[in-house]
Amino acid sequence: MTSIAQRNTRTALMMALLVAAMVGLAFASVPLYRLFCDITGFGGTPLRAEDAPGAAGGIVGVRFDANIDPRLPWRFEPVERTVRIAPGARMQVSYRATNLTARPTTGTAVFNVTPALAGKYFSKIECFCFTEQTLKGGEKMDMPVVFFVDPKIREDSETSHIDEITLSYTFYPVETPGRGR
């Protein structure tokens, strides 16, 4: 009987380790996927860059979209709805966020670019989306985004026809331990 008990104990421990590994993988999957998208531009994720390469020929329109998770009591909107830029030119635009409550709240933004094929050519140098944002009660804040569209977008047969790109952000609340939602 002890060998059956030992096998049962070993099986239970293996299953517990498997469950722990699955839970760990579930928590790690979002940051790992985000890192993959940041590196590759997959799924319309803009790339990060140090600086713009310099303006090239042609003009591309960039449209700005803003969304809020209903659990975050903010107003969030682009200051400008669209801009037109030459690929390679550095551009700064701002989004405006307003905390609609009397207490501080923190949000984090996720972003994407459409059409998705343009994501690998859309690079951000500075962005409020790189860190969490905290607004005091009633505070209004302009949050800059500095970006460029890589001139190589015109050399790629799959993207050379693109004349408008949409940069979209969605802000989500950041859960703070001990404070709840």
- Average pLDDT score over residue span 51-60: 62
Report the pLDDT value the prediction gives residue 13, as an integer from 0 to 100: 87
Spatial separation of the C-alpha atoms in residues 63 and 170, rounded to whole Å:
15
- Average pLDDT score over residue span 52-81: 87
Q: How many residues does the chain have?
A: 181
* CATH number of this structure's domain 44-173: 2.60.370.10
Spell out a b/e string for 141-166, using b for 16 or more CB atoms within 10 Å of the CB, else e. Answer: bebebbbbbbbebbeeeebeebeebb
Question: Whole-number mean pLDDT of the chain?
Answer: 85
Report the pLDDT value the prediction gives residue 106, as an integer from 0 to 100: 97
Band (7; pLDDT cuts 50, 70, 90): confident
